[in-house]
Structure 1
Amino acid sequence: MTYDTVDLFAGVGGLDLPARAAGLHPVGIERSPDACATRRAAGLATVEGDVRHFGPGDFPDAQRLLGGPPCQTFSATGTGSGRRELDTVLGLVSLMGVRRPVGRELAALADERTALVLEPLRWALAAADAGRAFESVVLEQVPAALPVWNAYAAVLRAEGYSVATGVLKAEQYGVPQTRRRAVLIARLDVPAALPTPTHRPYRPGVGQDGGDGRLLPWVSMRQTLDRPGGFTVVSNYGTGGDPAARGRRTADVPAATVTGKVFRSRVLDPDGAESRFTSGEAGALQTFPADHPWSGRDIGQQIGNAVPPLLGEHILAAALGDAVRHLPAAA
């Protein structure tokens, strides 16, 4: 099989599904056996392994590079070591741009997952040095990683890319969830831009009819899930830094960020009954198809780590400069 797109840290396929819908032939590199099981069940081309053991030479026909490095060390709910070592990471990006070896410095980082945020740059520069630079590069991470993408941008511009970076709000692209992601889109010799929002941003206390009338209303959990109306979701994590202050959202607003602990969220029905989200429901909040074949163990983590395919659809459309064919409805 000839692959025209490589997806690093591919997870269960949040970027691969819209890439395939766009007529591309992506292959994803993923280390988690469970995520790989789901990918294979969904018919996605998969290399089970560590991205550090591969390079662009292993995929000579690939013209596009996608990636969502692990976010745990940068995430507000993670270890925070990536945020603490941010200045070091930014310095390493600059060194890589001038082709200085950084292996010793990477090994000295407190958590090896922080070093993984630099893998897409290694791939992009190796491809350029081999004379077959990727036509486009698409990367996403938690908002705290935006300075890393900005540092990438300076290096990639020196390689002839046009680059756009910024933080996207998932609900502004039709995702029934207020997830924020730092995104980089780079295009070789073609102007790059982030996708234009199609939906209004969610603001507590402002209904779907409020805001910019030129944009579509944000999408609520009630519109997404096949549940009786009136339910309330009690989040699996605290708000304002207080683990005991569990966030609450009603069915008539978007979900909070879906994390790997999504199955710990409590769903309270109007009659007082309590339940948990099913795999299909949690996947739907991430805009995966209703019949997505979740496989393996720790499905909650697979779902929480994923890029919402609908958000990925908009990002890829911007990166390709074309409309991406729409995915099947999530529910």
Structure 2
Amino acid sequence: MSSPGPQSHHRSDARILDLFAGPGGLDVAAHFLGYKSIGIELDQNACETRYAAGLPTIHGDVRVIRETRFDEIPSSVDVLTGGPPCQSFSVAGKGAGRRALSTVTQFIHRLVNGEDEAAIDEELHDLDDPRTALVLEPLRWLLKAIETKGRNPYEVIVLEQVPAVMPLWEVYAQLLGSGEGRLAGVKYETRCFMLKTEQFGVPQTRTRAVLVARLPTRGGIERIETTHLPFDVRRDRRDAAQSDTLLSDSAIPAVGRRWVSMADALEEASKPSGSSVDVTRLRTGAELKFFVVSNYGSGGDPKNRGMRLSTEPAFTVTGKISRNRVYTSPAEFDAGRPDRFTIPEAGVLQTFPHNFPWSGKDQAQQIGNAVPPRLGMHILSMALRGNAPSSEELSAATTWPTTARDATEELRRLGCGDHSQCPPFSHQVTRSPRASCL
């Protein structure tokens, strides 16, 4: 099966609306499954990547778009997806969101019960971390669709976040299944999943909390079947099992193939003609061999930096991946001469295509904030079609179609226009269209 063609550069036929779209993890997944999408994104840098990739985008705040520009969303949209910013919930952050879980749960109930939204907004401003309130936005978008004349409820809803948000997804699931209050009798079949990325062929360890909701006319929600074995993050267990992981795939039990290693992914990504992934510097002879020292501490000790071998999956890819240190030998480590992952390499570890056109500034942060497209393909395929993506679709998802410069310019015009409706200060730095895509 060949890769789908370039994205439509217009919004009118989009089926999927991606809130907090980032550089396009879920949009990339949707593209390779044959679905058209439109994303809303606040960050101008991520928008530049989306424009360069041919992804229809509205540059704006999801709250502002919902309140004042909801009519710009195509009526063809019947799928709502989103991964609200996770910093306040993440174990890597200060934990304001985790402390506010019970408070946010109350807000969810109050919104569905029809309490005054202006009063709720006033209280939300008093949260320790204002970003915590963004986890309510998917619910507010659903309620807006239900209560807007001429709109239909979304047929499918897919939400993902860090594991700490699972209690909120469970509250969502309970209320979406009730049809009470402002849901106006609209009931969904719901199911929550805790998914490990390496079990879906993503060459990194990362756990995500996922909620899938569908109108009953689409039938029950099946489990999302894994394709690869889990990776044991405890080194003593890994070392003991190392000989087993060297077996060929044919020797692995039928429950799944061995997880994909960093070396596997980067080697494969370096093969296509014109690939931006060049791993020559990481070779020892003909073998791609290196080890990575994390930028983060482990076991509660910031000085205890974890290490992963090239024959293992990467650490969770975060916005700080460019700070991870890469060594090809103990001598390099002893001499303190680390290498770093390049932006295309970091993107490949997130399962973006090898030639994905990363643009704008803070590209490492864009990559770390994104949903791994390969995981997104498994989630969306199950949610929308009731089955796993085909091997042909997964194979095609390694190369991104080129977007012509005039198409990128048109997407920027549609997404940003004269900048008057973009977030304040996001266009302070004046750049030529060409420079802004570097």
Q: TM-score, with normalisation over the residues of structure 2?
A: 0.73
1:103 aligns with 2:132: no
Residue deviations 1:73-103 (CA, integer Å, cap 9, x gap): 0001112100111110111111122222322
Shift in Å, 1:274: 2.1
Within 5 Å, give how 1:143-292 maps onto structure 2. Answer: 143-159=163-179, 160-189=187-216, 190-203=219-232, 204=234, 205=238, 206-207=241-242, 208=245, 209=247, 212-225=253-266, 226=279, 227-228=282-283, 229-270=288-329, 272=332, 274-292=338-356
Which residue, out of 356, 374, 377, partners 1:310?
A: 374
Gaps of 5+ in 1: none
Equivalence for 1:12: 23
| DSSP 3-state at the match of 2:177 | helix
1:132 aligns with 2:182: no
Distance 1:330 1:62 in 2: 26
Kept after mapping to 2: 8 A contact 1:200/1:211: no
Shift in Å, 1:323: 4.7
Equivalence for 2:273: none
- Greater Rg over alpha carbons, structure: 2
Shift in Å, 1:104: 2.5
Amino acid paired to 2:29? P
Kept after mapping to 2: 8 A contact 1:280/1:290: yes
Amino acid paired to 1:8? L
Amino acid paired to 1:140? E
Q: Which has the higher strand share?
A: 1
Pair 1:142–1:299, CA change in 2 (3 A): same
| DSSP 3-state at the match of 1:275 | coil
Distance 2:37 2:295 in 1: 34
Distance 2:220 2:264 in 1: 36
Shift in Å, 1:112: 1.1
- Identify which range, 78-87 or 226-235, moves more after superposition: 226-235
Amino acid paired to 1:14? G
Shift in Å, 1:154: 1.0
Pair 1:211–1:201, CA change in 2 (3 A): farther
| DSSP 3-state at the match of 1:158 | coil
Kept after mapping to 1: 8 A contact 2:32/2:397: no
Residue deviations 1:169-191 (CA, integer Å, cap 9, x gap): 00000000001111111111121
Shift in Å, 1:329: 2.1
Distance 2:302 2:126 in 1: 32
Distance 1:223 1:99 in 2: 52
Distance 1:135 1:67 in 2: 15
Shift in Å, 1:129: 2.9
Distance 1:16 1:213 in 2: 31
Shift in Å, 1:269: 0.7
Pair 1:75–1:212, CA change in 2 (3 A): farther
Equivalence for 1:79: 94
| DSSP 3-state at the match of 2:25 | coil
Kept after mapping to 2: 8 A contact 1:195/1:317: no
Pair 1:40–1:95, CA change in 2 (3 A): same
Kept after mapping to 2: 8 A contact 1:57/1:127: no
Kept after mapping to 2: 8 A contact 1:185/1:193: no
Amino acid paired to 2:72? D
Distance 1:212 1:306 in 2: 32
- Report the RMSD for the aligned CA atoms in angstroms: 1.8
Kept after mapping to 2: 8 A contact 1:266/1:276: yes
- Identify which range, 129-138 or 259-268, moves more after superposition: 129-138
Equivalence for 2:132: 114
- Identify which range, 78-87 or 268-277, moves more after superposition: 268-277
Kept after mapping to 2: 8 A contact 1:259/1:303: yes
Kept after mapping to 2: 8 A contact 1:4/1:25: yes
Distance 1:179 1:330 in 2: 23
Q: Which has the higher helix share?
A: 2
- Identify which range, 314-323 or 298-307, moves more after superposition: 314-323
Identity level (%): 47
Which residue, out of 392, 395, 398, partners 1:329?
A: 398
Distance 2:94 2:51 in 1: 31
Distance 2:263 2:255 in 1: 23
Amino acid paired to 2:101? L
Pair 1:282–1:330, CA change in 2 (3 A): farther
Pair 1:330–1:76, CA change in 2 (3 A): farther
Which residue, out of 43, 58, 61, partners 2:72?
A: 58
Shift in Å, 1:57: 4.1
Amino acid paired to 2:374? L
Equivalence for 1:49: 60
| DSSP 3-state at the match of 1:235 | strand
Amino acid paired to 1:157? G
Distance 2:378 2:369 in 1: 18
